[in-house]
Structure 1
Amino acid sequence: MTARRSYRPRTAALLAVLLMPPLVLGCSAASSPQSKSSSQAPNSDSRVTAAPANVEKIASMTNCTVELRTEADELREGVCVTPQGNWIVTTFPAEKFKRSWLDAASMYGGTYLVGPRWAISGELTVLKTLRKKVGGELQELRGIGSPAPSDPSRASTDPQGQP
């Protein structure tokens, strides 16, 4: 019987070690958003939770009947024509496809409304209105040949270091 008792402290210690990380992580993850939101005053620029990566759902959130334009393995694209303006929503099965698409779109420049696995292109005024409904972040992409922002501390030099 004494042999069984010597295993109980080991078993209890092992269980404590195995159960502590999930409990600590679970408690801190659950309380973090609540404590942040309760400690902050409501903001006039409150953020909308970003829409899911689905062309039809994003369109329905904006009261648009979408016309699908592209259905491929790496993206789906739909066009919305509304009285406020026309816009295109593109969704992706993975973030890597969205990043590739944005890299390619940067050649043309412009501003895009970007969320998790989706991007919307259109006029800036339309994108600002849509952002209130579907969330996301406005991203300005620079086109080819766009002048770089002037920064006197980064004056251009030739390979020999001459200004």
Structure 2
Amino acid sequence: MPHQPQRGRTGRTLGARTARGAALAGGLALLTLATACGGDEDDGSTDDGRARTPAVSAPSAGVVAPAKVEVIAALTGCKVKIRTDADELREGVCHTTGGDYLITTFPAEKYKLTWLDSAAIYGGRYLVGPQWAISAKPKMLEFLRTKVGGVVRDLDAERTAGAGPGTP
């Protein structure tokens, strides 16, 4: 007796469903790459040829890193040492030749906003993304932003301007 192809609930063969699913996944991957790699006519220099400092709030990377200490550390080129592993946050320390920095991730955005409210007392600049923040020297923040995206938040300037850390 010849072998009959296995069919799913809809009557279609499982091979056709698998192929269609693979095509859909491939299409979504290409769409993500196409939108992340959009070109920009601005070369980042001023009329007299000097490099222009990017706006503090403009993300540099096309895609922003996910909220996982180890993933962010790998994207920045460091082997992280976890310092705090709590329900509200995880912190990892990176020691590199370019400088040291602290990566903090949060299970929900509300915890990051609370953390930024607390950090506003001390001021400083932080690289901030969805459910994560990086503490480092300002020059290091600009370098890290090219690796993981996010925005640089100047809590001193926000406090002076009267804007709370929860505002973009």
Q: TM-score, normalised by structure 1?
A: 0.62
DSSP-derived class of the 2:145 partner: helix
**Which string of whole-angstrom CA distances, capped at 9 and with x for unpartnered residues, describes residues 12-53 of structure 1?**
xxxxxxxxxxxxxxxxxx9xx96xx87x74444673111000
Q: What aligned pairs does 1:5-154 form with structure 2 within 5 A after superposition? A: 41-44=40-43, 47-48=60-61, 49-142=63-156, 148=160
Unaligned runs of 5+ in 1: 1-29, 150-163
Structure 1 residues 60 and 82: alpha-carbon distance in aligned structure 2, compared to 1, 3 A threshold? same
How many Å separate the matches in 1 of 2:94 and 2:60? 23
How many Å separate the matches in 2 of 1:114 and 1:41? 23
In the TM superposition, what is the alpha-carbon distance from 1:62 to its structure 2 partner? 1.0
How many Å separate the matches in 2 of 1:92 and 1:44? 35
Going by fraction, where is strand more abundant, 1 or 2?
A: 1
Structure 1 residues 43 and 118: alpha-carbon distance in aligned structure 2, compared to 1, 3 A threshold? farther
How many Å separate the matches in 2 of 1:66 and 1:127? 17
Structure 1 residues 71 and 134: alpha-carbon distance in aligned structure 2, compared to 1, 3 A threshold? same
**Matched residue, 2:53:** none
Going by fraction, where is helix more abundant, 1 or 2?
A: 1
- For 2:141, the aligned partner's letter is L
**Which string of whole-angstrom CA distances, capped at 9 and with x for unpartnered residues, describes residues 73-121 of structure 1?**
0100000000000000000000000000000000000000000000000
Give the share of equivalent positions with the same residue, in percent: 49
Unaligned runs of 5+ in 2: 1-30, 45-58, 162-168
How many Å separate the matches in 1 of 2:107 and 2:43? 33
How many Å separate the matches in 1 of 2:41 and 2:128? 24
